[in-house]
Chain A
Amino acid sequence: MNPAYSVIFFTVSSGAGYGLLALLGLVGNAHGKASSPGFAIVAIAVALILITAGLLSSTAHLGRPERAWRAFSQWRSSWLSREGVAAVATYPVALVYGALWSGFIDLPQWIGLLGLLTAAMCAVTVFCTGMIYRSLKTIPAWSNRFTIPAYLLFGLATGSGLLNAISFIFGRFQTDAGKFMAFLTLILTFGAIVLKWLYWRWLRNRTAQHTMGQATGLGEGVRQWEVPHTATNFIMKEMGYSVGRAHARRLQQLCMLLLDIAFFTCLLAPKFDWLVFPSALCLLAAAWVERWLFFAQAEHVAQLFYGKERV
């Protein structure tokens, strides 16, 4: 599939934003009011800015962005619509939570519940994003059990990397809490490494079950003889992206390397606390490469009509 940068930026940026926001919600749920209003406001603002930048970027993928508001209407059947509704519904919850957690509204008894609700809304939104891809039977590389965990895990891992960095700026990472935060990032990063390793191994070893014979109904002895048009069309451009597949192995290694660097810098971060910055940057870069490959490596069954023998 054609890896559209607007969609890659959207899923990486919003994913990190929702990951950060969810963790902030859980922090408030566990510890109540934030230690300083400045820290709370900056952290919530960073999360919401990342989310908003991502959502705005996603409209660049649209042919008619001015009609984007219509996408909130079909939540009964469409995961894309559900994602939009969940994303918008998260804003008021997050804002109320931010006001409570930072102490702007002095009702500390509500912090726990709103924190949990914020985290749940983030999870629901990212889950809906994953389901857009997971539900497409036409793309076997997406329609499998790895897709949802990958979206949730990369969102949380990049979010926790950002939380470490923001905590460092406000002097929170340097306290005992830093050790727990670094531990959390380590677990999430390790989870991402294992998940992607399993996914890429599965993708390499799977036997492609869809054939040109099935697509055309002409049986197994069929091959392309004459192409229907001499110029490329939308289907060939959108579904037939092959650059990613050519460099897939190298880019997978790059993604793994970035995750490994993130892991080890985070491991040393309680000793050398400035390492939270390279750690967070490596996580974001790894998420970007992972997402690019997620699109570029995916093959669509419509290619079977255009000469591809198996998908």
Chain B
Amino acid sequence: MSDQNKDKQMRVTNAVRAYQREWIADTRQRVSQGEPFAICNGDDCEEILNVMGIPVIVVNYWHAIISTKRMDQYYQSLLKERDYPASIFSMGLACTMDNNSETAPWGGLPKPSIIVGGARTDTEMRILELWAREYGCKFWPMEYSLWHGIEKAPPPGWFDRIRDHWDELVDPVKLDYRVADQEKLIRYLEVTTGRKCSMAKLKEAMELVNEQMEYWRKARDLIAKTSPCPVSLRDQLSMYQMMWHRGTPQGRDFLKAYYEEVKERVDNNVATCPNEKIRLMWINALGTPPRWAQWAEEKYGAVCVTHNYMGIAVDAYARTIKNNDPLRTLAARYMLLFWTTPDWIAAQARHSNCQAVVTAAGIGTKAAYEQAGIPMVSIPSERDDEATREAISNYIESLS
């Protein structure tokens, strides 16, 4: 293999990391000078905050950073010591409770002016409320966020319709409420920060989102049809950091650069695992690569070539603005980004020529995936331990 087609870390992912480091340093500097900073739950107002020039960090991104730095066990212990339930969603709160810039990823976050979050689960609002109390900042509850459309079953193939026909999938009464909630938040931010929002800026942001996701689609499709896989899952997932700069020129430009570099890799026959024999799809909640990936590649040539986050990027974010109303279109997307249905996961897996999906216990059932036409390998946890390896080995060895 020539040096040209060795799998090195992508230039663009290094650039993304550098950008993120600069972004947090710059944000810290701006906050120290009195500028506002926000924390919000994923898909709960990032575009609005970005349009208003308020730097925002998304809760699930921060949790992924904590997990990647292997601080999750420590923070879970800290919560348990204080008699709180330890969950993935409470890691940021635990980091703030710990108040230790020596050990916190990035040295911890700057103090936010506001934390925004909704009632998508029983505990989300409560955890964010406690987090804001710990910081001594404002908590802004949003009533309707993701997954409040439980009255209707997801129609089969919803992922092919959601971009253009989102209005058929979201409850209009709840949507009215969500739009009003957003208007109130915008007004509050305008009053307290002096920053401005406008429909024109929101429209521009949504068009940038659509462009960004189109580049993602093109890159994903190239990776899907190329074997051996030209881009490691680690690098693919690294690009997800740019999801939190949605609706900005930087967000769009990084994805354009990503697509161009993926194409270059395909043209140069770069392979992340030249010995690729089996292609797998990895599913987890945090968007982190599997800890057992290297073992599976070396032992079986089994490569995780895609992840559910890739499908989210490609299928879930783009929206056609209806009635020239970007605020309502955006509200609908905040309320319904996707449903994790087996038919959607199976469609993604098949698109990437995967033989199976791998996921930790509790996310879906084997029967549901089999019904959707893709085998599911259920592993007991996300740890790279004997039990996990045994479950994966059992599946792979059953193929021969």
Partners in one complex: no
Binding site for A on B (CB under 8 A): none
